[in-house]
Structure 1
Amino acid sequence: MAPPPNLARRRALADGALRVLAASGLHGFSHRAVDAAAELPAGTASNYFASRDALLSAAAERVLELHEEDMAAAHGLIAGPIDREGLIGLMAMSLEFSAKLHRDRYLAIYELTLEAVRRPPLQRTLDTMRDAAVDFTHAQHQALGLGTSREDVATLITLFGGALFTLVTGQAGAVDAATAGALARTMVAGIGSLG
């Protein structure tokens, strides 16, 4: 019988994979580079993830896990219900926070997204993640008393993702609250059920 997996080590490796992707892209991505980024002995990543695809999928899944942790923490600080203006404020805060504090995380996911075009297994992982993100966010909206449909949540996530891409890939540190607020207001204004 095999020993149970060390979840803390798996997370450390996935976090290391995200750091490598953000710093070096796919051309610098290897099991050995991930071991070094995670500050673990050589060969650790290959013991946990037999293939490059498995390691890329673990990195993608870690992004969703971290995103859900951030959303749950933010939700815990908010006394619902909230209205349209409250949603704009939350989205603006999330855009600014993500672009400034988690820039590397999102640079990594953009690398994964582009690579998934050529790797069907990775694309399936990302598609599953997107569905899970929509379900999770929809549940958060419902808990906050917003009448947002699942379809509108999916649209908001698409718009949010495009805005975040622009902010993350622009000049580092150039994101400010006013820009994030204007983008959030425009996104919410485009959703009919929130108007």
Structure 2
Amino acid sequence: MEVTMLSDAEVLKNSQTSPWMFGILVDRYEEAFIRKGEYVLRSREDAEDAVQDTFLKIYKYASKFSERKNASFQSWAYKILTNTCYTHLSKKMKEIARTQMLDFAELDVVNGLDNSEEGNRSSVAQSILLRLPERLSRLLSLYFFEDKSYAEIADVEHISISAVRSGLHRAKKQFKELGVEIS
């Protein structure tokens, strides 16, 4: 039988003993994975990194895959891709939170600090962001650093717009409380 006629699950299984066969799956899915990754990460370079990590995970965990009635190789692989993209996005947001200053005029938090102390304001903001729960820090980063609308954040985070609104409210409230604690 010609290898290109094999199902994805069969190719994955055979790649355990013939690693060259894994290249067939890469050929079949790489471009589609990159498009999905670009949609989530908004960067082709980041998407390519996430796709490479995804293929490594698929190969590493190939022995754990078992095709079920409602779960195909494709759905399993896309789940790994999605999780990998969100892990990359989370790391990217944490890096942004560490390197950029939050828009204090919008949050109205560090008004007690002298305006000439910009460096101090930045340090305080970064310190506060790192103390917030990851989800709340990510919401603030998307809203303030990337200027995302509530609808865009809802799409990226796979939550409703009202959940974005309440999450941002909670995040701002905790940010303010932590800001008062620090100053």
Pairwise same-fold verdict (TM > 0.5): no
Tell me which structure has the larger Cα radius of gyration.
Answer: 2
Q: Which has the higher contact order (CA 8 A, sep 6+)?
A: 1
